[in-house]
């Protein structure tokens, strides 16, 4: 007689019924456990790595957090946290120590209050920390799709460092989620997974950033730098979103980007993004992680034109530089008069991280016809603070160095800094500062 399998938060079906629906399930059914059972393997002192961004497995993280009273000093390594990051909340610090390569709203405070840590690293180099054993991985928690008939699962929305950490981990626990879009590119075989937890959680969505007048003006300047047939990298936030809205009259754009969101889908639908003229990976959107709404997830699901690859491929400056007319578009918090870019700290305190900004700035400089664009509103705090500054705040890290920077764009125009002297840079940057601050800057 068939035994009954309990599916969390869904109906109970028999094992025979489950196998009839998915015959390949026979190959891994001995690995299927509940989240609570799987997470029992975590020991005090372990390093646990979480799948990146939308690749974070919510039921596994929940089951790990539920063990807080019995665990001590478990390091949780993560990058962009799209979940609630309960492990980084006050009171959790004895059980879990957060260590991030990038901070966001749910994790920033933990680092600021010394309940967690920040590790600086170019996004392209994060996989090496795991592959080379610099950060040995005890347990990897990730989301995967159900497997195909050969037993291969898609990594879904996060390839980035997720694949490297999975391959390096002593124990791999996967939440197998049928809601996860099945993307082409890298795959993981069920044999490589230690425990499987079947649970179809909803996929986290990221609403498009709201775009105001300032961003629209910045976007017009950005669009003027982008030729037809260019290949684009776009960061996250209002400025890349606005830039996409300004590209409707371009032809045959391509995408090679660490991420992309809904705005790219809109351009693909009207035939502006075709990937036809890319120098390498022609016809393909190449990406390392994806965040957006259902519109994006439906677009990438089972779409052979969208390939997910690890970040040490996508963000490798030598790969990026092989594209002709490769253009990177990233945001910043401050730029000083030498052209040093701060994209990650406010008031000397870590706000986000470097992500792939420098990977792409360096890649585009190798590209024939390539350009890197750093774009930012000229002011912050309702116009009271200039983001073009004589010097960066004390204790602020330089994200993109003055040797790497090329175009800086605000709503007041474009400063082309490459090959310019320090005096010429100061002039060019003062000229695109908010008029209220130009005298102060020109007096430096």
CB of 234 to ligand COA, least distance (A): 8
DSSP state, 160? B
Only segment of 156-164, 277-285, 286-294, 325-333 that touches ligand COA (CB under 6 A): 325-333
Binding residues among 327-386 for ligand COA as defined by CB under 6 A: 330-334, 343-344, 346, 351-352, 354-357, 380-381, 385
Is the separation of the CB atoms in 7 and 34 below 8 Å?
no
Nearer to ligand COA, 46 or 393 (CB): 393
Question: Does residue 258 have an active-site annotation?
Answer: yes
Q: Cβ closer to ligand COA: 340 or 352?
A: 352
- Over the window 280 to 319, marking each residue x when it contacts ligand COA by CB under 6 A and - when it does not, the resulting string is ----------------------------------------
Between 58 and 356, whose beta carbon lies closer to ligand COA?
356
Question: In the structure encoding, which two tokens stand for residue 381, read together?
Answer: 């705090």
Helices and strands in the chain, H and E counts: 15, 27
Q: Is residue 74 exposed (0-12), middle (13-18) or buried (19+ Cβ within 10 Å)?
A: buried
SS3 call for 90: coil
Least distance CB 48 / ligand COA (angstroms): 24
Whichever of 97 and 387 has its CB closer to ligand COA, that residue is: 387
When binding is defined by CB under 6 A, the residue of 181, 235, 363, 370 that contacts ligand COA is: 235
Cβ of residue 411: shortest distance to ligand COA, in angstroms?
12
How many chain residues interact with ligand COA (CB under 6 A)? 22
> Which among 153-161, 282-290, 310-318, 326-334 is the span making contact with ligand COA, rule CB under 6 A?
326-334
In 226-369, beta strands by DSSP E: 231-234, 254-260, 285-290, 306-308, 326-331, 334-336, 341-342, 345-346, 349-350
Nearest to 307 by CA among 395, 186, 212: 186
Collapsing DSSP to helix, strand or coil, 442 comes out as helix
CA nearest to 370, candidates 328, 398, 402, 413: 328
In angstroms, give the least distance from the CB of 355 to ligand COA: 3
Site map (CB under 6 A) of ligand COA, residues 237-276, x = contact: xx--------------------------------------
Rounded to the nearest angstrom, the gap between the alpha carbon of residue 438 and the centroid of all alpha carbons in its chain is: 35
Picking from 173, 154, 127, the residue whose alpha carbon sits closest to that of residue 315 is 127
Q: Rounded to the nearest whole angstrom, what is the least distance from the CB of residue 343 to ligand COA in the complex?
A: 4
| Phi, psi (deg, nearest 5) at residue 267 | -70, -30
**Crossing angle for the helix pair 213-224 and 238-245, nearest 10 degrees?**
60
Pick 173 or 333: Cβ nearer ligand COA: 333
Which residues inside 98-137 make contact with ligand COA, applying CB under 6 A?
none
Bridge partner list, 261: none
* CB 214 to ligand COA: min, Å: 10
Cβ neighbours for 419, distance < 8 A, ≥ 6 positions apart: none
Q: At 267, which helix (H) or strand (E)? A: helix 262-269
Catalytic residue among 56, 229, 241, 258: 258
CA atoms within 13 A on the CB side of 154: 24
CB of 381 to ligand COA, least distance (A): 5
CA 86 to chain centre: 20
Dist CA 97 CA 256 (whole Å): 34
Q: Which residues in the 380-419 window bind ligand COA by CB under 6 A?
A: 380-381, 385, 387
For 337, the token pair is 């008069």
Question: Least Å distance between CB 386 and ligand COA?
Answer: 8
Residues acting as catalytic residues: 258
Residues interacting with ligand COA, by CB under 6 A? Answer: 235-238, 330-334, 343-344, 346, 351-352, 354-357, 380-381, 385, 387
């Amino acid at each position: 007689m068939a035994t009954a399998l309990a599916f969390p938060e869904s109906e109970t079906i028999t094992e025979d019924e489950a196998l009839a629906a998915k015959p390949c399930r026979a190959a891994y059914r001995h690995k299927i456990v509940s989240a609570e059972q799987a997470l029992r393997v975590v020991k005090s002192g372990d390093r646990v790595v979480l799948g990146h961004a939308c690749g974070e497995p919510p039921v596994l993280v929940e089951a790990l957090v539920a063990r807080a009273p019995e665990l001590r000093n478990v390091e949780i390594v993560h990058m962009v946290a799209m979940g609630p990051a309960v492990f980084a909340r006050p009171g959790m610090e004895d059980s879990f120590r957060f260590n991030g390569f990038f901070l966001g709203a749910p994790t920033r405070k933990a680092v600021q209050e010394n309940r967690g840590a920040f590790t600086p690293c170019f996004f392209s180099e994060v996989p090496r920390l795991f592959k080379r054993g610099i950060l040995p991985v005890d347990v990897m928690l990730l989301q995967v799709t159900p497997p195909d008939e050969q037993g291969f699962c898609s990594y879904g929305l996060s390839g980035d460092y997720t694949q490297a950490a999975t391959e390096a981990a002593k124990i791999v626990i996967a939440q197998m989620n049928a809601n996860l879009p099945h993307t082409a590119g890298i795959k993981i075989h069920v044999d490589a997974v230690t425990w499987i937890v079947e649970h179809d959680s909803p996929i986290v969505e990221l609403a498009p950033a709201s775009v105001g007048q300032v961003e629209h003006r910045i976007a017009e300047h950005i669009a003027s730098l982008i030729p037809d047939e260019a290949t684009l990298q776009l960061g996250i936030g209002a400025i890349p979103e606005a830039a996409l809205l300004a590209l409707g009259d371009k032809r045959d754009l391509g995408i090679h980007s660490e991420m992309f969101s809904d705005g790219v889908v809109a351009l693909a639908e009207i035939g502006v993004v075709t990937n036809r003229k890319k120098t390498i990976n022609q016809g393909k959107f190449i990406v390392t992680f994806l965040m957006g709404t259902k519109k994006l997830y439906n677009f990438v699901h089972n779409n052979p034109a969208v390939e997910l690859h690890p970040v040490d491929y996508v963000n490798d400056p030598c790969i990026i530089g092989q594209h002709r007319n490769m253009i990177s578009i990233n945001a910043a918090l401050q730029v000083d008069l030498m052209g040093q870019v701060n994209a990650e700290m406010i008031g000397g305190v870590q706000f986000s991280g470097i992500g792939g900004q420098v990977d792409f700035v360096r890649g585009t400089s190798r590209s024939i016809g390539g350009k890197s664009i750093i774009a930012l509103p000229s002011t912050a705090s309702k116009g009271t603070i200039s983001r073009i500054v004589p010097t960066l705040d004390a204790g602020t890290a330089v994200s993109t160095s003055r040797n790497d920077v090329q175009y800086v764009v605000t709503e007041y125009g474009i400063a082309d800094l490459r090959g310019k002297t320090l005096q010429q840079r100061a002039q060019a940057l003062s000229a695109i500062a908010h008029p209220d601050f130009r005298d102060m800057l020109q007096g430096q």
